[in-house]
Amino acid sequence: MADWLIETGIGEERALLVDRGEVLAARLRWPGELEAGEIAEGVLIARFSGTPRGRARFASGEEALVDRLPREAAQGRTMRFEITRSAMGEAKRRKPAHARPSDEPCRPAPTLLEQLGGRELRRFPAGCWEEVWAEASEGIVAFRQGALQFSPTPAMTLVDVDGHLLPRDLALEAVDPLARAIARFGLSGSIGVDFPTLREKGERKAVDGALGVALADWDHERTAINGFGFVQLVAKLEGPSLLHRLHFARSGAAARMLMRRAEEVAEPGVLLLTAHPQVIASILPDWLAELTRRTGREVRLAPDPGLAPHAAFAQAVAR
């Protein structure tokens, strides 16, 4: 039976839906940001003329786009807002969080344990998180005689289906790996899938039917596949997926992974964390304090510009 497993790391919470050793789905949460489900007070710093929209700033300094403002809401007013979507990183910009006015009491965003249930444990089964993390970081999912290439863009997540089978066979072979990857990467929002060109209506109908079966448990809407092989999937978007985190916040993701690796060092000695300077710069002082508390060790940092961000490592060294 599938079971959500929750791991509370340094700087992030992680969740895996595991069934007999296979990871079916994954979720990732970075506390400290404005998150969907949070209700907090903020100052309305801008009101867009002629619309119920504006911009609010919260105690952390983070800002959000606000909708559904009442007519009497004036710039400079302190209000209570519900966050409906976290900020979304992109290659050249960062889309701010979304919010709307609320009369409910202030509350923090729910943890992954509160969202998903399941059980909390100190460490996932060996290799499970590393496998999903590496797959999402690369953005490529291989399957029999083909592969899926995932490319997050400002408009949508694009998925290219490539392989050596006949178009109909390749499209059908790609359906189940696509459904599994959507769950493992925690994808939502708009997803465009570029299957091979399918000229025959019967071929397109077969792929549509297979998609319906494979995605039956995922709450979404989708278009019918067109003659060029393109289909669009749309699901409610509340925040960045694992795929988006690892593509648009690589240094931050690598820094959090380094914290996890450091906790697993078994040999005695000082913890030496070696990483690209951008990864080192992403490590917050609170994280280092928490790592020291969890391990009972002194921690040292060693920037190495020759290392790729994902190649950061931790080891024990003598004093």
Residue 85 and residue 237: Cα distance in Å, rounded?
7
> Domain residues of the chain, as ranges?
3-33+110-128, 39-101, 139-235, 249-317
Instruction: Report the percentage of the chain scoring pLDDT > 90.
Output: 93
* Interval 114-128: pLDDT, tens: 999 999 999 999 999
Residue 286 and residue 259: Cα distance in Å, rounded?
12
Residue 90 is predicted with a pLDDT of 79
Mean pLDDT of 47-73: 95
Average pLDDT over the chain, rounded to an integer: 95
Contact 11/127 with Cβ under 8 angstroms? no
249 pLDDT above the threshold of 90: yes
- Say which amino acid occupies 156: M
91 pLDDT above the threshold of 90: no
Which residues sit opposite 107 in a β-bridge? Answer: 39
Span of 84-93, 150-159, 307-316 with lowest mean pLDDT: 84-93
Angle of helix 167-185 versus helix 201-214 axis, rounded to 10: 20
Residue 212 is predicted with a pLDDT of 95
Residue 120 is predicted with a pLDDT of 94
Q: CATH for 39-101?
A: 2.40.50
The pTM for the full model equals 0.91
84 pLDDT above the threshold of 90: yes
Q: Give me 149's structure tokens.
A: 């290439």
Span of 62-66, 70-74, 103-107 with lowest mean pLDDT: 70-74
Work out whether strand 3-8 and strand 119-120 pair parallel, antiparallel, or are unpaired. parallel
